[in-house]
A = this chain, B = another copy of it.
């Protein structure tokens, strides 16, 4: 079985590749190809790396010609960059998906038995307020960022190419993945990981929003689980609604901090400094806070049950430090 991971150099792509290299998919061994503009220095045994941009002319066609059985499409620029550079956002986050789907359709038309599973990482950014208390599976997509609009459009394309039988696609709307290992990044959501990760590493962390801020989280381990489950699921069960809200943990920043205190004590928590940033506060206020992801739960997608479990995943998987 052959898997192609677009955006395979990123944090989630790398974890997914390692998981599949070690465990296969559905009990089958997997030949893995990673595509991205950059990769970490340590290569993954059993995975081939291809360096380039998905937006390069001819790239989607060349990749489609290798006829992967499963394509994990994680490639995109982040929300902040897509908002700052409008043209680049659409050029990276939307048009290459169209080109890829058209290239896969051409492969399908040349060989009708070829109908790859395409797993697209969408985002809760497809939603825009005002929100109900819990976002149901039937709530509209009214994105309030270009990134969200690009994700929502890719979902629509994947659904329609699937409905016609050219591919067998599924779009999964990831919660904010937390606790991200490594360094802070430019994303407005970066602090959600930072206020846990930095204190656990003995460093100060800035909290730029009120601790009453509620948001929707899942761990990197859950992200891998979502992706492999989406790759192996019987898509007939989706009944032509191929974009799914995933399970996660809804909690306030205060609850995040309490969970950290519970696990590792007050000295660590003291390293979190509240320093309000009105710009970040305003962005985060526009984000979804809570979901009732009934369809995904019924389909067997699983996330953590509490933010304490999310921190524990970081301790186990990154710090190798069980409490």
A160 touching B139, Cβ below 8 Å: no
Contact status of A138 and B141, CB under 8 A, knowing A149-B156, A149-B160, A164-B146: no
Residues of B within 8 Å of A144, CB to CB, are 163, 240
B146 touching A153, Cβ below 8 Å: no
- Would you give the shortest CB distance from A12 to chain B, in whole angstroms? 25
CA distance A143 to B149 in the complex (A): 16
B164 touching A156, Cβ below 8 Å: no
**Is A142 interfacial (CB 8 A cutoff)?**
yes
CB-CB contacts below 8 Å: A96-121 with B: none
B164 touching A157, Cβ below 8 Å: no
Sample of 22 A–B contacts (CB below 8 Å): A86-B164, A132-B138, A137-B140, A138-B140, A139-B140, A140-B141, A141-B141, A142-B159, A142-B240, A142-B241, A142-B243, A143-B159, A144-B240, A146-B160, A146-B164, A149-B156, A149-B157, A149-B159, A152-B156, A153-B153, A153-B156, A156-B156
**Is A24 interfacial (CB 8 A cutoff)?**
no
- Would you give the shortest CB distance from A246 to chain B, in whole angstroms? 16
- Would you give the shortest CB distance from A116 to chain B, in whole angstroms? 18
Question: Which residue of chain B lies nearest to A146 when distances are taken between CB atoms in the complex?
Answer: B160
Residue of A138, A143, A144 with most partner-chain B CB within 10 A: A138
CA distance A144 to B159 in the complex (A): 9
Residues of B within 8 Å of A199, CB to CB, are none
Residues of B within 8 Å of A241, CB to CB, are 128, 142
Question: Which residue of chain B lies nearest to A137 when distances are taken between CB atoms in the complex?
Answer: B140
Chain copies in the assembled complex = 2
- Residue numbers of A with Cβ under 8 A of B are 86, 128, 132, 137-144, 146, 149, 152-153, 156-157, 159-160, 163-164, 240-241, 243
Residues of B within 8 Å of A137, CB to CB, are 140
Question: Which residue of chain B lies nearest to A166 when distances are taken between CB atoms in the complex?
Answer: B86
- Would you give the shortest CB distance from A76 to chain B, in whole angstroms? 15
CA distance A137 to B132 in the complex (A): 13
CA distance A138 to B131 in the complex (A): 10
Residues of B within 8 Å of A140, CB to CB, are 137-141
B143 touching A160, Cβ below 8 Å: yes
Besides A141-B141, A141-B156, A142-B243, 11 other A-B contacts (C-beta < 8 A): A138-B139, A138-B140, A142-B159, A142-B240, A142-B241, A143-B156, A143-B159, A149-B156, A149-B157, A149-B160, A152-B156
Residues of B within 8 Å of A149, CB to CB, are 156-157, 159-160
Residues of B within 8 Å of A160, CB to CB, are 143, 146, 149
A153 touching B157, Cβ below 8 Å: yes
- Would you give the shortest CB distance from A235 to chain B, in whole angstroms? 15
Residues of B within 8 Å of A139, CB to CB, are 138, 140
Residues of B within 8 Å of A163, CB to CB, are 144
CA distance A290 to B159 in the complex (A): 24
Residues of B within 8 Å of A164, CB to CB, are 86, 146
